[in-house]
Amino acid sequence: MTRTPAFIALLLTTLLSGCSILPKSEPLNVYRLPAAPFERYTGTGQTAWTLQVDRPQSSQTLDSTRIAVLPQGNEISAYKGARWSDRAPQLLRDRIIAGMLDDGRIRAVSSDDNRLQTDLQLSSDLRAFQSEYHAGKPQAHVVLDVRLVRRDSQTILEQKRFEVREDAADTSVPAVVSAFGKASDQLTREVMAWSLKQGQSKALRP
């Protein structure tokens, strides 16, 4: 049977349209870690020492842009269609640095990305950075094990675990993200106050 050019064109159009019927990619919402600006310290004087804040070490599950959630028990998952703007350990490190710079009491603060010479180093392990459900309601849970290290000798001066929980207003992803922001702000305040206290008492000892 002879096929006309019109028939062939129709057949090609049908095949091409069939090939284009693919699953649509799911919309992806990318979230920054919310942060409230800290008030500038109005007292006199700064520390005589400087500080490097390292990116926390973490498990592969937390070292991700996925927003981790524990819906029940030990089951770990991630919110569908939602991502952090960067990996969780880096988000938290940058929040701590920003808080310290806002406060202004530490003479100079840098990150391990810059690898500048500083007197002290804040290294840490991120143990939890996830949403957890309790009685059907989500709660941001952040746990950070922190070590203050003297860089010239790599001596651990002090260490402490910081843990913060913050209830989300509802079960929506934006509400959970907001809870993460508040929890991270509170953790930053606690880490900064502890670092200042320990640094002032131990940094300049021979």
Q: CA-to-CA distance for 25 and 191, rounded, in angstroms?
A: 40
Q: Give all domains of the chain, ordered by start, each with its CATH number.
A: 46-202 (3.40.50.10610)
**pLDDT grade for 27, boundaries at 50, 70 and 90:** confident
Query: Tell me, what's the pLDDT at 201?
Result: 87
pTM (two decimals): 0.85
* 141: nearest Cα among 75, 80, 67, 65: 67
What confidence score (pLDDT) does residue 15 get?
Answer: 47
CA terminus-to-terminus distance, the chain: 98
What pLDDT does 22 receive? 52
Section 132-144 average pLDDT = 96
What does the CA dihedral 51, 147, 168, 101 come to, rounded to 10 degrees?
-10
Radius of gyration of the chain (CA): 24
pLDDT exceeds cutoff 80 at 2: no
Q: Is the pLDDT of residue 20 over 50?
A: no
Instruction: Give the DSSP H/E element, type plus range, for residue 96.
Output: helix 88-103
Q: How does pLDDT run across 111-127, given as a tens digit for each residue?
A: 999 889 999 999 999 99
| pLDDT (0 to 100) of residue 114 | 87
